[in-house]
Every structure is written in structure tokens, then in C-alpha cells.
Structure 1
Amino acid sequence: MDTDDSPWEDNATNVRDSEWSKISSDFLNAGYREGITAGKESALQAGFDEGFAETGAPIGRSIGLMRGYISSIIAFLSSGRSLPSGVDAGQLLGEARAISGALGDVRFSDIAPPDLEAEMHAREHLGEDAADVVTSEELQEKKDMESLEDLMNRMGAGSSSRGQEKRATMDDVKSLQTRLSVLAQTLGLSLPLP
């Protein structure tokens, strides 16, 4: 009997080929998963960088500057320093506090432009069910939490948002910016508002 015709030899070759195929397949799958993960991480970082630079930072900076300016004006008006003649400090202080309270109620999620790319992606994956998709699940959870915070604030004493049911919009922020600018001009200040 020839050793090449041995049933043990055929079985060993089959096992070796089978093991090689399994190992090769396992490495291929692992490499594929690592490639997908690396691709997602890369796209996620690029998306974060773009969103931060084009949306988050400019909006945050603008609101932060306005809050800082109005806080300084409130401190100045509360200090009792003399004002230009004909200027009612009490009225200006009331306006400054109203602006400050309104700025405190501004939420990023309310004034940030919609993420059209994320909405389009959701529509692609949800098909017909995506007709009502307007926010991501994460953003909706954040808005729900902010609504709860607003409710808690309205329950607190002296809340600026007492009775406020409407959320701020970018138009509201622009209106507050105009009011702040007028207030500053009344005091003889020139604020470099964004």
C-alpha cells in the first residue's frame, strides 16, 4: 500500500486545510473589524473637529461673551457709581438683569443649527419611517433632560424662566445681543460683540 493512498494522510491534509481556512478567516474578520473601528474613530474625530470649529465654539464663544459683558454691566450698575445725567440706573439694572436671565435660559441644543448630515443618514437607514426624524436619539435625550431642568428652575424661587414655556431660538439670541448693545451704548460702552 502506497503512503499517498493512506486514509490517515488524507484526513491530516483535510484537517490542515480546514484549520488553515479557519485561521485565515478569523484573521480576515479581525482585520475587517479593526479597519471598521479605525474608520469610525477617524470619521468621528473629523466630525467632532468640524462641528466644534464651525458650530460649537463660535456659538459658545458668542454666548459666553454676552454673559460676561452683561455680568460686568450688572456689577457696574450695582456698584452705585455715577452714571451719565438722565440715565436711570434702576431701569438699566432691571434691563441688564432681564438680559442676564434670558441668556441663562439659552440652551445650546435650542440654538445650534440642525445636523443635516445626521438627519440624512438617519433617513437613509430608516427609510419611510424617517419622515418624522428631526433629531438624533442622543440629542432628544438631552432636550428631555433640559426640559426637566427648566421645570425644576421654574419651581425655584426667583427663577428668570418662571412661566416661560417657549425655548430660546437663534433669533432670540440676536435680539438679546441687540438689547445688550443698546444697553452698553446707553452707558457709553462699546462692546465688540460677535
Structure 2
Amino acid sequence: MDSPWDDDPQATYAREADWAKISNEFTNSGYREGIVAGKESALQEGFDSGFADVGVPLGRELGLLRGTVSAILSLLSSQPPADIPFTAIDEARDIATSLGNIRFTDIAPRDVEAEQHAREHMDSDDPALDGSEELVEKRKMEGLEDMLEKLTAGAGGISAQGRPTKEDVVRLKERLGALSRDLGLFIQTVG
């Protein structure tokens, strides 16, 4: 009598091969999912840290400076021309223009770790590392903005070497403080 447990050796080999293939696919899939989860976790942690330690403080400072100079400009514009020194309006406009030209990337600290990581992958053939279309377009637009800035008259209180720096923000903040004191306004700027 034949037992159902006595299988054809060829059928047993086929089942074992199928099992090995399925097991291998699940292992690879689990490995990929683990890598993705790890990357997402590290990405979220990096975002949280950068947002709290860099983005928010810089954005808040720039926002307060821009808001302060806008308020001063509004106040000066509402006064009769004879009551305000002409140079005060020019100074406020120059500070406002200079603050308006500052990008986050101009004043944020360099992310040396991210730069090193990017350099390591520069030679990679991975098309995902080339950057998104949106990033490429943003870089093109910033390049055009830089060219236009060079064509305009006056440096607007920004460093002669090109894009604004953190030191330029400090100087603009000092100029804004001096302007507010000259006008008899005692406005505390950030920091």
C-alpha cells in the first residue's frame, strides 16, 4: 500500500525549491522594509532637530525683523512728510529690501554631514540622487534672482561677495535698532 507521505523525489525537490524561493523573497522584502523604516526614522529625527534648532529660530528672527521694519515704514508713511527725516524713510526701505533678499539657505549653518553624504553618492548612477524637478527649478530660479540682484544698483547693505550672510543679518539688525532709536521708538529686536 502506498502512503500519501511517500512522495515522488522530484515533487519533493520542487516543493523545497518553491519554499526556498518564497522564503528568500520574504527575507529580502523584510530587509528592504527594515531599511526603509530605518531611513524614515532617521529622516524624521533629522527633520525634527533641524526644524526646532535651526529653522524656527532663524525664521522667527527674520520674520520679526521684517515685521518691525514694515511697521516702521508704515508709521513713517502715515506721517506728514515735514515731520519725518527723508533719510529715515530711505534707511527703512533699504533695510526692508535687504531683509527681503535673504534666503534661509543664506544664513542657515552648513550641514556638513549631509554634504559629505551627497559627495559619497555623487558618482552613483542612482537617478533619484540627481534631485527632483522641483529642486532643479528652484535652483534655476535662485540663479536668475542672483543675476538680477547683481544688475540692480546698490548693495542694499549686503556683503559685496554675493549672497547675504549671518553677519549681514546682524548688521541689518543693528541698523534697524539705530533707526528705531533715532525715531524715538524703543523696539526690542530679536535676541
TM, length-normalised to structure 1: 0.77
- Corresponding position of 1:97: 93
Alignment of 1:68-147 (within 5 A): 68-80=67-79, 88-123=84-119, 125=120, 141=136, 142-147=138-143
C-alpha change, 1:59 and 1:137, in structure 2 (3 Å) is farther
Aligned length: 178
Q: Cα distance 1:3–1:10, how it changes in 2: closer, same or farther (>3 A)?
A: farther
1:132 aligns to what? none
Amino acid corresponding to residue 116 of structure 2 in structure 1? M
Q: Residues of 2 paired with 1:143 and 1:190: CA distance?
A: 40
Distance in 1 (alpha carbons) for counterparts of 2:86 and 2:114: 47
Q: Structure 2 CA distance, aligned partners of 1:137 and 1:155?
A: 31
Q: State the 4+ residue runs in structure 1 displaced beyond 4 angstroms.
A: 140-144, 152-156
Q: Provide the rounded CA distance (Å) in 2 between the counterparts of 1:21 and 1:107.
A: 55
Task: Find out whether 1:35 has 2:40 as its counterpart.
Answer: no
User: Is the CA contact (8 Å cut-off) linking 1:110 and 1:169 kept in structure 2?
Assistant: yes
Displacement of 1:150 in angstroms is: 3.6
Q: Could you tell me which amino acid in structure 2 is paired with residue 176 of structure 1?
A: L
CA distance, structure 2, for counterparts of residue 79 and residue 169 of structure 1? 32
CA distance in 1, matches of 2:39, 2:54: 21
Report the equivalent of 1:133. Answer: none
Counterpart position of 1:17: 16
Q: Is the 8 A contact 2:102 2:164 kept in 1?
A: yes
Question: Cα–Cα, structure 1 residues 151 and 27, in superposed 2: closer, same or farther, change >3 Å?
Answer: same
Give 1:10 shift: 0.6
Distance 1:106 1:119, change over 3 A: same
Q: Deviation at 1:151?
A: 3.3
1:137 and 1:170 mapped to 2: Cα distance? 29
Alignment partner, residue 148 of structure 1: 144
Measure, in 2, the Cα distance between the counterparts of 1:137 and 1:99.
37
TM-score (norm 2): 0.78
Question: Equivalents in 1 of 2:31, 2:19: separation in Å?
Answer: 18
AA partner of residue 90 (structure 1) = F
> In the superposition, relative to structure 1, how do residues 110 and 144 fare at CA in structure 2: closer, same or farther (>3 Å)?
farther
How far 1:190 moved relative to its partner?
Answer: 2.4
Measured on the aligned residues, the alpha-carbon RMSD in Å equals: 3.5
Task: Report the alpha carbon displacement of residue 153 of structure 1 after superposing the two structures with TM.
Answer: 6.2
Structure 1 126/154 Cα, relative in aligned 2: closer, same or farther at 3 Å? closer
Matching residue of 2:173? 177
What residue ranges of structure 1 are gaps of 5+ in the alignment? Answer: 130-135
1:87-141 CA deviation, whole Å, 9 max, x = no partner? 8521111100010011111111111110011123345x259x8xxxxxx976x85
Query: Do the aligned partners of residues 107 and 24 (structure 1) sit closer, same or farther apart at CA in structure 2, a change above 3 Å counting?
Result: same
> 1:21-40, CA deviations, whole angstroms, 9 ceiling, x for partnerless residues?
11111111111111111111
Give the aligned partner of residue 126 of structure 2.
none
Residue identity over aligned pairs, in percent, reads: 46
